[in-house]
Amino acid sequence: MNAWWYFGLTLVLEFPIVYLFYKKQGKLMWAPFVLLNLFTWPLLHYLMLTTRFSLPLMEIGVAGVEMIGYKILLSSSWTKSFAVSFAANAFSYGVGVLINHFL
């Protein structure tokens, strides 16, 4: 499959989770969500090709970067930023593992 298809799938999978946490911000949460994924998704794939770090470890790093991004860009608490970032990334990672295992 085309890499952009996977990026789109990541956005589709993670958006409902991020929306549940930040629905009070409404349209204001769209830009940080897309920008953070536009930064972390290509970075993760670049690191997958150039380093020997395990994918789960790099996903934890991605979740950490997105947590900081949500904290700064949406002025949310550390707890909320942690919860949304790790929930969204764990879900998309899990679905990705299932897709790669069965396809």
Rounded Cα gap, residues 67 and 59, in angstroms: 12
Q: Where are the domains of the chain?
A: 3-102
- Is this model's pTM higher than 0.95 or not? no
Q: What tokens were used for 69?
A: 């991004």
Residue-level pLDDT at 48: 94
pLDDT tens series, the chain, 103 aa? 688 899 999 999 999 999 999 999 988 999 999 999 999 999 999 999 999 999 999 999 999 999 999 999 999 999 999 999 999 999 999 999 999 899 8
Q: How many CB atoms lie within 10 A of CB 72?
A: 11
